[in-house]
Amino acid sequence: MNVVNLILMAIVIGVAIAIVRRFITKRQNEEVENQMQVDDRTYTLEMMIAFVKKRLDEITKINLYDIGLSEEELKRRKNKKYELKKALKGCTYGDVNDKKYIKELIYDMLYNEYGVDETNVSKAIPFDITSLLTSQDKFDIILYMYKSEFGYEALTEIIKKYNLADLKYVEGESKPSYVITPEEIDDIYEKENFALTFQDKLNVVVQRIYQQYKGYSSIDEIRDMNIDGISGGVSGLPESFLSQVAQTDADYLGQISEHKVPRACDSIWIMFQGKSIRLAFLSFGTEAELKRVCQNIYKFNNPGQLSDTNGYKINEMKDGSRVVVVRPSMSETWAFFVRKFDVKRATLEQIVKFPGKEDTIDLLKYLVKGARIISLTGEQGCGKTTMLMAMIENIYETMNLRITETAFELHLRKIYPTRNILSMRETETISGQACLDVQKKTDGSVNIIGEVATDPVASWMIQSAQVASKFTLFTHHAKTFPDLVTALRNSMLRAGVFKNEKTAEEQVVQVLNFDIHLQKDFRGRRYIERITECIPVEEKNEYTYDYRKEKTMEGKLNKFMDNATIFFSKTTNRELYKYRNVLEYHDGTYVLTNPISDKNIKEMLNNMDDNDAEEFKKFVKKNWGIEAHRDSEMIEENN
Give domain status of residue 275, yes or no: yes
Over 50: is that where the pLDDT of 274 sits?
yes
The answer on 590 and 512 residing in a single domain is yes
Residue 291 in domain: yes
Task: Reply yes or no on whether the pLDDT at 493 is more than 60.
Answer: yes
Task: Please answer whether residues 139 and 282 qualify as being in contact, where contact means their C-beta atoms are separated by less than 8 angstroms.
Answer: yes
- Band the pLDDT of 639: cuts 50, 70, 90: very low
306 vs 299: CA distance, rounded Å: 9
More confident residue, 8 or 141: 141
Whether residue 592 is predicted with pLDDT greater than 90 in this model: the reply is yes
Residues 325 and 264 in one domain: yes
Give, for 275, the enclosing helix (H) or strand (E): strand 275-279
Q: Give the range of the structural domain holding residue 246, as residue numbers without chain letter.
A: 130-342
Taking only the tens place, the pLDDT of each residue in 366-379 is 999 999 999 999 98
pLDDT, one tens digit per residue, over 301-344 is: 888 888 888 899 988 888 888 899 999 888 889 999 998 876 56
Q: Do 519 and 529 form a contact (C-beta atoms < 8 A)?
A: yes
pLDDT at position 407 over 80: no
In a domain, 440, yes or no: yes
- Distance, CA of 247 to CA of 250 (rounded, Å): 7
Which pLDDT score, from 0 to 100, does residue 179 have?
93
**Domain containing residue 486: CATH number:** 3.40.50.300
* More confidently predicted of 39 and 365: 365
Q: 274: domain CATH number?
A: 3.30.450.90
For residue 251, is pLDDT > 70?
A: no
Whether residue 66 has pLDDT greater than 60: yes
In a domain, 29, yes or no: no
In terms of domains, do 212 and 155 share one?
yes
Return the percentage of the chain with pLDDT > 70, whole number: 87
Question: For 62-153, where are the alpha helices, taking DSSP H only?
Answer: 71-90, 96-108, 135-150
pLDDT higher than 60, residue 257: no
* pLDDT at residue 33 greater than cutoff 50: no
Please list the alpha-helical segments (H only) found in 409-539: 412-415, 432-439, 455-463, 481-494, 501-511
Residues 326 and 375 grouped into a single domain: no
Strands 374-377 and 471-476: parallel
Q: 467 with 564, same domain? A: no
Q: Which of 60-69, 599-608, 618-627 has the lowest mean pLDDT?
A: 60-69
- Do 311 and 167 share a structural domain? yes
Q: Clarify whether residues 376 and 430 are in a common domain.
A: yes
Residue 353: what pLDDT?
87
> Is the pLDDT assigned to residue 414 strictly greater than 50?
yes
Residue with the bigger pLDDT between 333 and 408: it is: 333
One domain, residues 337 and 422: no
What pLDDT, on a 0 to 100 scale, did the predictor assign at position 573? 65
Give the three-class secondary structure for 302: coil
Predicted confidence at residue 258, as pLDDT, reads 53
- Whether the pLDDT of residue 635 is over 50: the answer is no
Average pLDDT, the chain: 83
Residue 455 lies in a domain: yes
Which of 26-40, 96-110, 238-252, 529-543 has the lowest average pLDDT? 26-40
| Lowest mean per-residue pLDDT among 135-149, 215-229, 340-354, 389-403 | 340-354
- 588 lies in some domain: yes
Could you read off the pLDDT of 87-129 as tens digits, one per residue? 888 888 888 899 999 999 999 999 998 888 888 888 889 998 8
Cβ atoms 264, 233 nearer than 8 A: yes
Question: Using 50, 70 and 90 to split pLDDT, how confident is the model at 37?
Answer: very low
288, 357: one domain:
no
**DSSP conformation letters of 397-442:** TTSPEEEEESS----HHHH-TTS-EEEEE--SSS-HHHHHHHHTTT
Q: Would residue 446 count as lying in a domain?
A: yes
Check whether 17 has a pLDDT greater than 60. Answer: yes
Domain count, the chain: 3
pLDDT, tens only, 544-591 = 777 677 778 877 787 778 777 767 666 666 678 889 999 999 988 999
Same domain, 382 and 466: yes
| Predicted local distance difference test score (pLDDT) of residue 38 | 39
Q: How many Cα neighbours within 13 Å face the side chain of 6?
A: 3
In a shared domain, residues 225 and 357? no
DSSP per residue, 212-268: HHTS-GGGHHHHHSSSSEEEESSSSB-HHHHHHHHHH-HHHHHHHHTTSS-BGGG-E
Contacts of 448 (CB under 8 A, 6+ apart): 388, 392, 401, 402, 403, 404, 410, 472, 473, 474
Q: Are residues 473 and 379 in the same domain?
A: yes
| Residue 76 located in a structural domain | no
- Distance, CA of 506 to CA of 513 (rounded, Å): 13
Confidence of residue 240 (pLDDT cuts 50, 70, 90): low
